[in-house]
Amino acid sequence: MKMIHIILYFLALLSYTSHATTTSVNDFCVANLLLPNTPSGYPCKPPLLVTENDFVFSKLVPGIPIPPFNAGTTPATVTNLPGLNGLGISVERVDIGINGTVPMHIHPDATELLIMVEGQMTAGFITPTKLIVKTLNPGDVMVFPRGLMHFQLNSGVGKTYAFAAYSSTNPTLHIVDILLFGNKLPTPTLEKTTLLDSAQIKKLKAQFGGSG
């Protein structure tokens, strides 16, 4: 129960921050997922069509491990929890297998709070002038400021998992490996811009679906 209280507390903080800068005449605006998303969120679902199911997501279960990282996530965002629309918050379960990692990635539109539940993780983020790294255990909470490159890896002896809360209803995810090697950028260009050798670049392109 203590972990649930921690999660609720930080989600409440994120919600307060969001509402401090955004006002609305509505108590809520459940997303109408049949209409296109907009910069200010989805259009509101007609009130008569709103049900309790719009405010509940019951499948925050372990994520399926994704190779080669041996980690998986299960998000609860506006796309599967429409009641989040306009509230500026979402949550995700993060599961990392033995020797697994959530690779270097960026959320350009969201701050992240990682709340450790089980096992052990080493997590950190990078700024132009500073490296912040910490080993996390159950009950620990770490914040990753918006837009900064960060990672989490399993540094324990068994599986590990945590919950992540975001200051966005549908946070964007940019995985650095996929950005670099999952495209058609020519290998000679990547050699010059990353200082990696050609063989390594071609190996990574094959791994992440790139060409060139």
Q: Are 29 and 41 in contact (CB under 8 A)?
A: yes
Q: If you average pLDDT over residues 142-159, what whole number do you get?
A: 97
| pLDDT value at residue 13 | 57
Q: If you average pLDDT over residues 114-143, what whole number do you get?
A: 97
Q: pTM, whole model, 2 decimals?
A: 0.84
Nearest Cα to 166, choosing from 56, 54, 103, 88? Answer: 88
| pLDDT value at residue 109 | 96
DSSP state of 65: P
| pLDDT value at residue 180 | 92
d(CA 148, CA 40): 23
Confidence of residue 187 (pLDDT cuts 50, 70, 90): very high
Strand partners, 76: 91
CB atoms inside a 10 Å sphere around CB 58: 8
d(CA 114, CA 121): 10
Domain boundaries, the chain: 2-172, 175-212
Q: If you average pLDDT over residues 174-193, what whole number do you get?
A: 93
CA-based torsion, 182, 188, 192, 196: positive or negative: positive
CATH architecture of 2-172: Sandwich (2.60)
Confidence of residue 10 (pLDDT cuts 50, 70, 90): low
d(CA 208, CA 180): 9
pLDDT in tens, 78-94: 999 999 999 999 999 99
| pLDDT value at residue 22 | 41
pLDDT in tens, 21-66: 343 557 899 999 999 998 888 999 999 999 999 999 999 999 999 9
| pLDDT value at residue 211 | 86
| pLDDT value at residue 11 | 62
Longest dimension (CA), the chain: 60
CA angle 79, 64, 170 (to 5 degrees): 20
DSSP 102-150: EEEEE-TT--EEEEEEES-EEEEEE-SS-EEEEEE-TT-EEEE-TT-EE
